[in-house]
Amino acid sequence: MKKLDMRVENGRRVVEGWDRVFRALSAEPRRQLIVSLLDAPANQSVSLPESATNPNIPADPEQLRRELPHRHLPMLADSGFIEWETDPLIASRGPKFDEVAAVFNALHAAATDIPDSLVIGCQRLEQEEQENLRD
């Protein structure tokens, strides 16, 4: 294989890897599950659907319980980001978990650079709720 062909093929693999990571992180239940796994010890599984539920956004646990094994968990597992079981419904880190973990670690490291519009909404809502309770 020519040097240029090798470089192009390598470039395609890199782009496909990033696309796979961002597709996996494009839905809130999948992002929340990755965060839950980051918070758990590396060799520990987390229970579902609780670990895929954002505490700031109430979700219908029955709907999420139905969606997880048909939509979210297979996508994450097919990419090697997680492993999961149905009875009980749990997930753990997969062999390629570090690929999605790297994105969250980079975001955490750059937290002060993230635009307020992506993080302030929840803080403002909590402040408004506290003010309403005082009134």
| pLDDT computed for residue 93 by the predictor | 98
Is a pLDDT exceeding 90 seen at residue 129? no
| pLDDT computed for residue 131 by the predictor | 66
Mean pLDDT of all residues in the chain? 87
CA–CA gap between residue 54 and residue 35 (Å, rounded): 10
CA–CA gap between residue 2 and residue 87 (Å, rounded): 50
Using omega within 30 degrees of 0 as the cis cutoff, is the peptide bond preceding 88 cis? yes
Tell me which of 42-51, 91-100, 121-130 is least confident: 121-130
pLDDT tens by residue, 48-68: 999 999 888 877 888 998 999
Cα 88 to its chain centre, rounded Å, is: 21
* pTM for this predicted structure: 0.78
User: Which pLDDT band, with edges at 50, 70 and 90, does 115 fall under?
Assistant: confident
Neighbours of 124 (CB within 10 A): 10
| pLDDT computed for residue 122 by the predictor | 53
pLDDT tens by residue, 10-49: 889 988 989 999 999 999 999 999 999 999 999 999 999 9
| pLDDT computed for residue 2 by the predictor | 78
Find out whether 83 and 13 touch, Cβ atoms under 8 Å: no
| pLDDT computed for residue 107 by the predictor | 83
Domain 3-134 has CATH 1.10.10.10: yes
